[in-house]
Homo-oligomer: A and B are copies of this chain.
């Protein structure tokens, strides 16, 4: 398999990407990694860190999409940027996955523009992995791509998250919960009230009902569904809580340690044809290493193909009841 890695994205680019790549190549020889970025810079760091070259292809680019650039404009104006090039390689089939810790907006726009949503998927989504008390791991989605959602979108997030949890986290028949302000059916804002019956009627998922803010870290639901506004607030609040714990020297705790973003590598875009993974801006070597491992797993499990098939089935069997 071929993975494309943006060497120019992230606060510590390209150094941490190089170090992460080195860790990855030490661990596995399954993939060839296309390193996209300034050839001379990448070359010299590969030499400096004695990274073996047999599984590496350098793809030279001359431009970078900055963190504060407008995503759509930047991708249009900079076809030779590392992000644009990565998507070109992915769309053409030259590589099987694209990973970047660069401009998140540009990654999302790129995923939509170069790959397009899978047939039947109304809104591709981004998910985050959540450590659960007790040792298991869950998925929360959407975490910011879709800040205004309709019930049909949340219903689909239930299926997207479910397939991801099953394929990537290895959870059979994952329990899907709707993030809400109360447990009982009928609780919530207008969006939740309309979403509940759709999730309940969805035969492709194992819906367990509403979950509350206090349940995010418990094992009640494996997949927690919400709109991207709420999910983004939850994600960032969780991150800040971990930062607080870490800064206060109380992080030598097994559960708290599992909050460390770098253990999860990055955020997958779900609902597009091929694996696209967005890393945290502050990604370190371990984060890049895990991003590459996640890409490998997404390819090996064929999760994007599984999602494609499920939505082709969904469009036949589930759509009529949605039109009620």
Q: CA of A232 to CA of B226 in the docked complex: distance in angstroms?
A: 13
Q: CA of A217 to CA of B144 in the docked complex: distance in angstroms?
A: 20
- Beyond A217-B244, A233-B179, A240-B213, is A148–B250 a contact (Cβ under 8 Å)? no
A235 beta carbon closer than 8 Å to chain B: yes
A46 beta carbon closer than 8 Å to chain B: no
Could you mark each residue 63-74 of chain A with 1 if its beta carbon is under 8 Å from any beta carbon of chain B, else 0? 000000000000
A49 beta carbon closer than 8 Å to chain B: no
A181 beta carbon closer than 8 Å to chain B: yes
- Beyond A189-B229, A230-B230, is A240–B255 a contact (Cβ under 8 Å)? no
Beta-carbon contact of B230 and A212 below 8 Å:
no
A215 beta carbon closer than 8 Å to chain B: yes
> Oligomeric state, in number of copies?
2
Beta-carbon contact of B237 and A216 below 8 Å:
yes
A255's partner among B232, B235, B244 (CB-CB below 8 A) is B244
Beta-carbon contact of A235 and B217 below 8 Å:
no
Q: List A residues 224-251 near B (Cβ within 8 Å).
A: 226-230, 232-241, 243-245, 248, 250
Beta-carbon contact of B232 and A213 below 8 Å:
yes
Q: CA of A298 to CA of B235 in the docked complex: distance in angstroms?
A: 35
Chain B residues, Cβ within 8 Å of A148: 189-190
- Beyond A181-B144, A229-B181, A244-B133, is A237–B214 a contact (Cβ under 8 Å)? yes
Beta-carbon contact of B181 and A147 below 8 Å:
yes
Beta-carbon contact of B253 and A235 below 8 Å:
no
Q: Closest chain B residue to A236 by CB distance?
A: B213
Beta-carbon contact of A240 and B228 below 8 Å:
no
Chain A interface size, as a band, is 35 or more
Q: CA of A234 to CA of B240 in the docked complex: distance in angstroms?
A: 12
A117 beta carbon closer than 8 Å to chain B: no
- Beyond A147-B181, A148-B190, A181-B229, is A234–B250 a contact (Cβ under 8 Å)? no
A233's partner among B230, B243, B245, B255 (CB-CB below 8 A) is B230
- Beyond A248-B253, A253-B248, A255-B248, is A212–B189 a contact (Cβ under 8 Å)? no
A218 beta carbon closer than 8 Å to chain B: yes
Q: List A residues 186-232 near B (Cβ within 8 Å).
A: 188-190, 192, 212-218, 226-230, 232
Could you mark each residue 235-274 of chain A with 1 if its beta carbon is under 8 Å from any beta carbon of chain B, else 0? 1111111011100101001011000000000000000000
Chain B residues, Cβ within 8 Å of A248: 253, 255-256
Besides A192-B229, A234-B234, 12 new A-B residue pairs in contact (Cβ under 8 A), listed by A number: A144-B181, A147-B181, A147-B189, A181-B228, A181-B229, A213-B232, A213-B233, A213-B238, A214-B236, A218-B240, A233-B234, A248-B256
Q: List 7 A-B contacts (CB under 8 A).
A: A179-B233, A188-B229, A217-B244, A234-B237, A250-B250, A250-B253, A250-B256
A residues with a Cβ closer than 8 A to B are 133, 144, 147-148, 179, 181, 188-190, 192, 212-218, 226-230, 232-241, 243-245, 248, 250, 253, 255-256
Closest 4 CB pairs of A and B: A213-B236, A213-B233, A213-B237, A214-B240
